[in-house]
Chains A and B, each alone.
Chain A
Amino acid sequence: MLIKLIKHEMRAMLNKIPMIAIISLGMALLIRIFTLFDKNISSIPSLFISFMFMTVIFVIGLAGLNFYALFSSVSRFQKNLFGDEGYLMHTLPVPSYYHIITKFVAGLITYLIFNVLTFISMIIAFLGTDDILDMVNEINNAIKVVMEYPLTALTGFITVLSAYCALIFCCYTCVSISSLVSKGKKGIEAVLAIASLILNNVFITIITQMIDSSNSHMSIESIMLVYALYFILVAVGLFFASNAIIKRNLNLE
């Protein structure tokens, strides 16, 4: 049942991706074409301004894709579980935590797809043939460095991933709590999000101070693992909190 839920969720999420892919790859291609006529563009001010404007929009758009991945995951969680579609989802013969896991997995996959899309768009827009060869060399060098410090790279990756997971579950919990009330849901979500960010910063500061004040010299890997452990605990705690709210207090008025 969980696999089937994920299949349907991915179908819903992927529904939006082709349009975003067409826009970002199309813009990348346009910038590429403009760049081919670089000298001509510089001599025509209006064309040059248009090119610069489009490039800025393109870069901002690509940076925004990661935020969009998070936003679309949270928006799906809200609409699909607490909107009209919730009448369909919550009458399915599956336990409530299946819905949370499904949204989380689909959200992570979308995040990954958007990152790949960003990478490809950047290559199309800004790199020529020679640059690609340079870039391959750079990537090779980077891989060599990573292979020299695999543990550092691995712990770094785990820390970033666990932080993203904690962020997703934090958003899910805010949405779940706001579903308990009939009015002012958006306001409550905003207040909860701000409060949880402040609380998170307080905890991070406390952990950092504890690490700094400890006499033992911790390696960079150990420090990152401490942060990763904190994020994992937060994510697991918030997963259970969201599930408890949906399971015990579902309120589709």
Chain B
Amino acid sequence: MSEILKCEGLCKLYGNKEALMDLDLTLESGKIIGLLGPNGSGKTTLIKLICGLLKPSKGKILVNGLEVGPETKSIVSYLPERNYIPLWMTVENIIDFFCDFYADFRKELAYDMLKRLNINPKDKIKTMSKGTKEKVQLILVMSRNAKLYLLDEPIAGVDPAARDYIMNTIITNYNPEASVVISTHLIQDIETILDDVVMIQYGHLRIHGYADDLREAKNMSIDQLFREVFRC
């Protein structure tokens, strides 16, 4: 399997505060990877660095062998933990926007998912509930045929039924040759679908390995391992 992501000696400082320190990480394509860690461990910072929303203080990031830039952004599909769609837009507007900028965007798939969720494409983002906005964003992100999906806390703050829908959308719509990085601390909900696990704490890599190997070696579930590693 080819490397989709490679981080070498990655550091990120916010002023004097260390968010990531000397992180070395390699991810292979074709996998669903759980990026796990407690709050403030550096998960979001790592994802933002890969997307190019932050610049590293030190170290290197290669996405599909390329430094972060317009080329890598065309193959990375990113779901942030906040609403990033301009409120004045309608769902139709934002779909047109994605069609214009991402060659890999599958418009029919997006409309199909909207129909299944009973979301009117003519509705304005401004008039939608928080949950519906999140669903629209997820539809946009998963309608792309990207090589790397970065999902930052996709199931945080939603009800269990919506979680099921979100997980189902991710599993059924991602490109099987691509990698999906899911950042969360709600491990129970995603444990069954994970191929790889990356655990970080205080900006340092704590554990990286195949989910099955970790379960076997430690004789416990990933959720139990998480509680063990990050016990307060």
Contacts and interface: CB of A to CB of B under 8 A. Distances in A.
Q: Is B a genuine binding partner of A?
A: yes
13 contacts: A1-B101, A4-B101, A7-B100, A8-B100, A15-B88, A92-B101, A93-B101, A93-B102, A95-B70, A182-B15, A248-B55, A250-B52, A252-B48
A248 B97 CA distance: 26
B97 A249 contact: no
A7 B101 CA distance: 12
Interface residues of B, number: 27
B229 to A, nearest CB: 27
A14 B71 CA distance: 31
Contacts of A80: 86
Interface string B46-71: 00100111110000000000000111
A92 B94 CA distance: 13
Contacts of B85: 85, 88
A160 interface: no
B53 A86 contact: yes
B38 interface: no
Contacts of B78: 87, 91
A199 interface: no
A141 interface: no
Nearest to A95: B70
A220 interface: no
Interface in B79-95: 80, 82-86, 88, 93
Interface of A: 1, 4, 7-8, 11-12, 15, 80, 84-88, 90-95, 182, 248-253
A251 B54 contact: yes
Nearest to A252: B53
Contacts of B14: 182, 253
A91 B51 contact: yes
B73 interface: yes
B74 interface: yes
Contacts of A12: 86, 88
Contacts, number: 63
A92 B48 contact: no
Contact of A94 (B48, B84, B93, B101): B101
B20 to A, nearest CB: 13
A91 B100 contact: no
Given A8-B100, A252-B53, A93 B71 contact: yes
Nearest to A94: B70
B97 A8 contact: yes
B80 A87 contact: yes
B86 A91 contact: no
A91 B82 contact: no
A141 B57 CA distance: 63
Given A88-B85, A94-B101, 20 more contacts: A4-B100, A8-B100, A11-B93, A12-B86, A12-B88, A84-B83, A84-B84, A85-B85, A87-B82, A88-B86, A91-B51, A91-B53, A91-B73, A91-B76, A93-B73, A93-B101, A95-B70, A182-B14, A250-B53, A252-B48
Contacts of A11: 93
Contacts of B52: 90-91, 250
Contacts of B51: 90-91
Nearest to B73: A93
Contacts of B100: 4, 7-8
Contacts of A94: 70, 101
A92 B54 CA distance: 14
Contacts of B82: 84, 87
A212 to B, nearest CB: 46
Contacts of A87: 53, 78, 80, 82, 84
